[in-house]
């Protein structure tokens, strides 16, 4: 299959408002360019060093999404170009993003990452933590971040019912936040959920952004 076929194969059952983030982590530039040349311009990476080095040499109209765990001391390296930071999982990280964005007079788009999986290992916030962030005076004073929505990862399992339940929970959290804090904010509209193995379920449960790596690029060799 050509890169165009691979994209079309995945996009064929997408509702029109769902965005595809092509997760290019570990993949070389030549392979990413093959997808870029079909017209796809949205790519996701999960390591700061890798996104920085790829962004430096690749076409400037690419939308770079940072989908990994972001350490505060590395925010500075991606702040000037990152299109959307998916994994904001602490208040201190949000403050650092706001600070660094302020220094370069930029608005930076973020998603709040929720812990929705039953596994212990996944990063993310819970609802009481997000409530305390959003209701704090410090948050209200932040001028350089835009909260675009939420992100989450389901448990890595064959159990489709469990995956569906976890995605449905993230959708419920999104709806509740929208109603409670972002009703008048049209920008709060994204639910980033779904990967190669579970994106169809995620879309059925209301995803607006899926992050797909191996189903497009093939298995990763670390």
Ligand X SMILES: *Cc1c(COP(=O)(O)O)cnc(C)c1O
Interface positions with ligand X (CB under 6 A): 23, 25, 46, 67-68, 195-197, 211-215
- Please tell me the distance from the alpha carbon of residue 128 to that of residue 164, in angstroms, as a whole number: 23
Q: Which is nearer to ligand X, 11 or 183 (CB)?
A: 11
Which residue is listed with tokens 């976890």? Answer: 166
DSSP SS3 for 87 = strand
Q: Which is nearer to ligand X, 47 or 106 (CB)?
A: 47
Query: Taking the alpha carbons of 76, 77, 83, 85 in that order, is the dihedral positive or negative?
Result: negative
Q: Which is nearer to ligand X, 58 or 215 (CB)?
A: 215
Q: How far is the CB of 2 from ligand X (least distance, A)?
A: 19
Q: How far is the CB of 105 from ligand X (least distance, A)?
A: 29
Q: How far is the CB of 219 from ligand X (least distance, A)?
A: 8
Q: How far is the CB of 213 from ligand X (least distance, A)?
A: 3
Which residue is listed with tokens 């930029």? Answer: 106
Q: Which is nearer to ligand X, 100 or 211 (CB)?
A: 211
Q: What is the largest CA-CA distance in the chain?
A: 53
- Please tell me the distance from the alpha carbon of residue 47 to that of residue 120, in angstroms, as a whole number: 21
């Amino acid at each position: 299959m050509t890169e165009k076929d691979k994209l079309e194969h995945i996009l064929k059952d997408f509702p029109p408002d769902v965005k595809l983030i092509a997760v290019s982590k570990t993949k070389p530039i030549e392979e990413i360019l093959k997808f870029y040349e079909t017209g796809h311009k949205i790519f996701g990476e999960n390591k700061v060093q890798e996104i920085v080095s790829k962004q430096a040499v690749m076409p400037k109209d690419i939308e770079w999404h940072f989908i990994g765990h972001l350490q505060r001391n590395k925010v500075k390296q991606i702040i000037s170009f990152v299109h959307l930071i998916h994994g904001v999982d602490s208040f201190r990280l949000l403050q650092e993003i706001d600070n660094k964005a302020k220094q370069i007079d930029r608005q930076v788009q973020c998603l709040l990452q929720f812990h929705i999986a039953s596994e212990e290992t996944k990063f993310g916030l819970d609802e009481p933590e997000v409530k305390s962030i959003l209701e704090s005076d410090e948050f209200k004073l932040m001028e350089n971040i835009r909260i675009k929505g939420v992100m989450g990862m389901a448990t890595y399992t064959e159990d489709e019912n469990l995956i569906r339940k976890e995605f449905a929970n993230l959708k419920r959290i999104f709806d509740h936040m929208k109603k409670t804090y972002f009703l008048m904010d049209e920008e709060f509209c994204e639910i980033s959920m779904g990967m190669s193995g579970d994106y169809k379920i995620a879309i059925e449960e209301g995803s607006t952004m899926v992050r797909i790596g191996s189903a497009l690029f093939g298995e990763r060799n670390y």
